[in-house]
Structure 1
Amino acid sequence: MLLEDGSEPGPVYFDVGSGANVPSSTEWHAYDGRFGRPKAALLRGAYACGWRGAAEYPLDWTVLDDRTPLYEADVDLAGPIADYQAHLTVVRDAAVPLPEPLTALLTALTENLETAGVKDPLVALKALADLRHLIAEVGAEAALAVQVGRIPVEMVATALGTSEAAARRYVNSYRHP
């Protein structure tokens, strides 16, 4: 989402009265110009990793009602959504593929845990506790191997399909829980 001057604004804060918690949003529809908020001029695909789509899609305010919230307006989001989905495809294709036996094991584990969660929640919780221990142990070993092997954070981010900052936090979370 871009403003008329081409800049990407910061979050919109919502005045809900007094209190320590001031809700905010960076959702595209919050930038509708109402209540002193910035008014969007262009839409574009974006992702939390920092990616921003190259294509820009203008909002035609001559056909949009200034009094209607953008989320209620008939705004065509097909372009930004298609750009976002194309980006996710590129990210997924660049990520490290899991071997088929591991994918099958994770799928079976998910199904078994979901079934246990319904039929016997205590069994599901015990399995999850054991799994949490296993994840911490194997995660620490893998994170150490990444750091000792001096695998660049760019490579880790690509392999995980995430941003460099997120990859760094992810690896560090196993090294320093």
Structure 2
Amino acid sequence: MRRKPLNPGKGFKSRGSWAGAGLRDERDESHHCELYQAGSRDRRLAERAARQIESALATASLVPGNVTMAPGAGTTGIVVMKEHAIESEPYRRLVAELPCFWCGISGYSQHAHLNYGKGLGLKTDDRTGFPLCCSRPGIEGCHVAYDNYRLLESGGRQAHREYGIEAARFTREQILKAGLWPKKLPLWA
């Protein structure tokens, strides 16, 4: 369908002509920017960058030898796997049937991956997963808390990684002991 172009002077109005856009008054507290907010934003961005660098340095030693960096969009490159991580839907479903590893509730579990080794084009092995419960109305699930590093009260990211490694090991043992390990899935080395 062909549409008629906008006539000059019609269309979107500039913000300056909106009611109260440039005017300050005591009743309108939400539509202005205080001077201290600019510095606060810069501080928050610097803190966020420092956390991301700390996380990248902490996980750099955990990257397997079969990963290489290839030049790509941006300055960081794109992660390219030489071999893929093993993905197994039957194993993920088995893990999801177990009760939550943290709170023990049954019927709400999801397969939770470890929080390292993930990224653009890089997946973690499904055999390193463990059961954590999902969010429900009015309740934040353990899976969300784990992914946001809030499940454990102290220790930060490193404590969460160690917890995930131990939980994955225990989950693999339970599935093996029950004799439910999928036949086509190789055992964890």
Q: What TM-score does the superposition give when structure 2 sets the normalisation length? A: 0.24
Q: What TM-score does the superposition give when structure 1 sets the normalisation length? A: 0.25
Q: Decide which structure has greater helix share.
A: 1
